[in-house]
Amino acid sequence: MRADTTGKICLDDIYTRPDPRAYFSTLRELDYHIPELAKPHFRALIEEYRAATGVRNPTVLDIGCSYGINAALLKCDATMDELYERYGGPEADGMSIAGLLERDRDLVRSRGGAAGGSGGVRFIGLDSSRPALEYAAGAGFVDGAVHADLEENEPTAAQRERLAAADLVISTGCVGYVTERTLGRIVDAAPPGRRPWMAHFVLRMFPFDPVEKALDAAGYETVHSAETFRQRRFATAGEQAQVLETLSAAGVDPDGPERDGWLSARLHVSRPAAR
Ligand SMILES: C[S@@+](CC[C@H](N)C(=O)[O-])C[C@H]1O[C@@H](n2cnc3c(N)ncnc32)[C@H](O)[C@@H]1O
């Protein structure tokens, strides 16, 4: 298996298929479930935002949304186990992409406003993978899409306008691929006086300091969870050994879930400071 410079195996191939079947069948083997662990924290932040601002129906931008996974969990109150079965089970095997999309639109229609779902919240997905984003939008998981790589490029005027609608910005499994450059461009797109709140689940192996410094300079205050969240199992012993080395080199205590076989993340919540 190919690995990147941090030792983490490269799964890029499953992010760019026209439907989520390869994504879910591969990640199921690795017990990937960070979106499930993130869900109550995102939901709590949305509630806090509503209470603090009086905005009943906020817009949530999901960076690296892929096939619309966080939106599906929050909007339809779905679970990762349910999605693993939905796309990795025998029924999905014989379905066309049009059939998968139709089945997902039914899910959104029937459960999009369900009790327990994030009723009234609008989701915008940002991803550099056009096929994944098209699926997320076609399924109705996201209500708007920004296909961009803001690491490489400034947003276009139309993209800035969509980014500017974000009241909250969330991500799972994406910071690391994206850095303070992408987050800075999103903050720059915000209207004056309405910077979005943020919640990012970030692998411990990726230093968050540069992101925090950039957000601090833009007028944010960041709170870090003490808790660690198990993102997925290591794919190989080699991946585990190299990630443990990366953690040590980054000055992160390697005696965490990584020793027990789990890539693990922390939650970083950034709110505009009351200055
Ligand atoms: C590990 S997946 C996480 C997907 C989803 N958030 C989840 O947790 O299941 C990482 C996602 O980040 C996207 N990505 C990678 N580099 C990106 C970039 N520079 N800008 C936007 N998205 C990017 C990939 O296409 C992929 O969909």
Task: Average pLDDT across each block of 10 residues of the chain; the chain has 275 residues. List them in order.
Answer: 81 94 96 98 97 96 98 97 95 96 97 72 97 98 98 98 98 97 98 96 96 98 97 96 94 93 98 86
Determine the pLDDT at residue 116: 60
Query: Ligand 1: which atom is nearest the Cα of residue 171?
Result: 6
DSSP state of 178: B
Buried b (16+ CB within 10 A) or exposed e, 1-33: eeeeebbbbebeebbebebbbbbbbebbebebb
For residue 274, how far is its CA from the centre of ligand 1 (angstroms)?
A: 31
Instruction: Look at the chain and count its residues.
Output: 275
Mutate to test the pocket of ligand 1, among 124, 174, 267 (most ligand atoms within 8 A of CB): 174
Query: Ligand 1: which atom is nearest the Cα of residue 177?
Result: 16
In order of their start, the domains of the chain are 12-272 (3.40.50.150)
Determine the pLDDT at residue 89: 86
CA distance 231 to 239: 14
